Each structure stands twice: as C-alpha cells, then as structure tokens.
Chain A
C-alpha cells in the first residue's frame, strides 16, 4: 500500500515539476479554452439573455476540448524519449502509474478551470462562483479525466494518434457530459435540490464505475508498449 501511494505521488510530482518548468500543457489548454469561449461568443451571438441558458453548455464544451488536449499531451510526453518504457521497467503496480497520471491530468484540468471560470464571469457578467456548480465541475472533471487518461494511453500508441482520442472519448463521455450540464444549470439557476441530485447521482455513478474499470484495465493497455 505504501509502495502504491509512493508511486502515485512520485508520478504526480514528476508531472507537476515538468509542467511547472515549461508550462506547455497548461498554456495550450488555457489559450485553447479562451479561444473556444470566444468563438462561441460570436457563433451563438451571446447577448445577455441568451448567455444564461447556454453558459453551462459552453463551459462544458470548453472543458471537454481542453481536457482532451491536456490528456493527450500528458501521455504523448511519456512517449518521447521512450519514457513509458522507463516506467514499465520499475517493479510497480501499473494501476498506480495510471492513478498518478490521471491525478496529474485532473490537476491540470482543475487549474485551467479555476482560471477560466472567473474570466468567464467577468467577460459575461455572470456569477460562476456558486459552490454547487464548482462541485459539479469537480465531479464531472474526475470522470472525464479517468476515461480520457486510459483512452489517451491507447491512442498514443496508435497510428492516427491525435484524432483518435476525441473519437474514442467523446461518445463515452456523453453520460457524464449531459448530467454535468444539467446539474450545472440546476445550480446556476437555482433549481430545487432533489432535481439536481438526480443528475448528480448519474455523475457519481459514472465516476465510480469508470474509474474502477480504468484502474483494472490500464495494465492491459500498456503491456508490450511499443
């Protein structure tokens, strides 16, 4: 158990140190997010009325795209210099490697979200700092990153690398995207608690099931890594 934890922490540490140095992943995720929001602003012609009804949707699409970007880059960096081989040579549990990578990816996405939300608030004069909403963002990100990390490990070994990840990930992310948007709307517009809970439950179930499956199946994705 201590070894497992040590592995996870070390992997997360490594990702943080590396990212702190050149900030490649974070900046690309951030810039991309802001661009997406900008494009939505023009495409949907967001006047004050329209904004409220689409805010949740716009934000979740943004996070989806940014998440894909981050997860992809993070796995790709293991491929450079053959680093995943290095990780596989060590006598550690593969699932610990997965948890480490996933936590790192989650951290990056959360950082981007923490930066984007206030900016959105200011740009569109909407209050995003509703505690319930932030909870939804957290829970939704967890499930999305859990699945994305594993699928990225697959796509990074395939030929059509960069385009394959969104193709694999987006359909599988629908059961978390829909509830996330709905629950977000619920909190932002003050819908009744029980209604929000029904959506929140789906997110929690998704998080639990898919994280569990991913933890179990990850080693089969990286064995014989070529």
Chain B
C-alpha cells in the first residue's frame, strides 16, 4: 500500500485553510442579517453541508451503476464511503438547521418539507448501513448496496416533491416570491460571496474526507486478507 500521497496531504492542508477562511468570512465579512441576527450565519454551513451531502448520495448511486456494470471492488468502496460521509454531513445539516430554527421559529423541529425530507433521507441511508450489515458475502453485499443506492437516490426528488407539496414554513432563500414573509432573506453581495465560498469549502472537504475514508477501507481490507492468509 502506497504511503499517503503527497497530493492528499496537500489537500488536507488546503481543506483546513479553506475552512478557516470560510469561518472568518462568515463571522467577519458577511454582514449581520437584519431580522434574524447572528444565528442566520448558521445558514452558510447548513446549506453547504446539505448540498454536498446530496452530492455524495448522487455519487453513491453512480457508483452503484458502475459496480453493477464492472464488478470492480473499488466502485463499491467509493460508494459506501460516500454514503457514510454524506450521512454525517446531512446530520450536520439537520442539527445546524435545528439550531437556526430555535430562535427564528421558536421550535427545535418542524415538520416542514425540507427538514422532513432530510429526516427521511437519513432514514433511507441508515437503512443502507443495516442492509450492508445484514449481508456477509462481500460481492453480494456490494451488489445489494449498489441496487439499493440507485433506488435510494431516485426516490429523493420524488420524496422532496411529495413532502413539499404539503405546507411549508421553511425559508425559501433561492427562488422565492416574498422571502421575508417565510423567515427567509435575500442575499446581498457579500453574503453571496460568503455562501459560495462556504459551498466550495465543503465540497473540497468532502473530497478530502472521502479520499481518507477510501484509503482507510483499503487498508482494512488488506489487513483482513493478511490476517486470513497467515491463518492458512
């Protein structure tokens, strides 16, 4: 197994720097929002982790297709690692959303579309882990995960649409009529910059963590094989 690639170490460094920069931007560059105050700043991380989480789930569905077509173990590894990281990112999104909601709507949780969809999505991918755990044979595990990941990702837009067609109190920041009325806000220039920078940061962070996770998985597989070989 190769040593940690230099590019990965570089990426680690870049991720840390980007993250620090993003924090600085959020707290010192982006202006204080008029109606919600400081807590609105959670938005930058909240949306970023949610979007990147969704990206990860898309990747896992893509990996599913790749695995079914080629049967190479690497696709399964990437897919599985991707789901793991996205699961956490999404969890961060839900929790940060909760933190944001408390002062603004005076409740920790609401059954509005986006949050509800997020909860359902977490359950779907939680089930993914249970599925993997319930299947022992590695190739069957990979195949089932691939099939399920495809189903899971395809269901997300439909789930969102269904839930959204019910009432909403979630702020519709992007593409809405009257944003303030629903607890939303429109983004000024510096806010937009901060937002997109945060998005970029979390994307880089995702790739960095994913890369580490895949390496970890490979090492673990190698270790298992060595262990079994020594036993024989």
Contact = CB atoms under 8 A, between A and B. Distances in A.
Chains A and B touch (C-beta atoms under 8 A apart): yes
B135 A158 contact: yes
Identify the 5 closest CB pairs spanning chains A and B, nearest first.
Answer: A175-B158, A158-B134, A178-B162, A171-B124, A160-B134
A224 B140 contact: yes
A168 B162 contact: no
A95 B184 CA distance: 48
A178 B155 CA distance: 13
B155 A221 contact: no
Contacts of B133: 160
Interface string B121-132: 001100100110
Contacts of A206: 158
Given A164-B130, A220-B147, A226-B140, A171 B123 contact: yes
Interface in B140-168: 140, 143-144, 146-148, 150-152, 154-155, 158-159, 161-163, 165-166
B151 A202 contact: no
A220 B134 contact: no
Contacts of A150: 147, 151
Main secondary structure of the interface of A (DSSP, over half): helix
B136 interface: yes
B120 interface: yes
Interface residues of B, number: 31
Contacts of B120: 171, 174
Interface in A198-226: 198-199, 202, 205-206, 209-210, 213, 217, 220-221, 223-224, 226
Point out which of B68, B147, B152, B165 has the most chain A C-beta atoms below 10 A from its C-beta: B147
Interface of A: 147, 150-151, 154-155, 157-161, 164, 167-168, 171-172, 174-175, 178-179, 182, 198-199, 202, 205-206, 209-210, 213, 217, 220-221, 223-224, 226
B134 A172 contact: no
Nearest to A201: B161
Given A171-B124, A217-B150, A226 B137 contact: yes
Nearest to B136: A159
B47 to A, nearest CB: 23
A172 B158 CA distance: 10
Contacts of B146: 220
Nearest to A159: B134
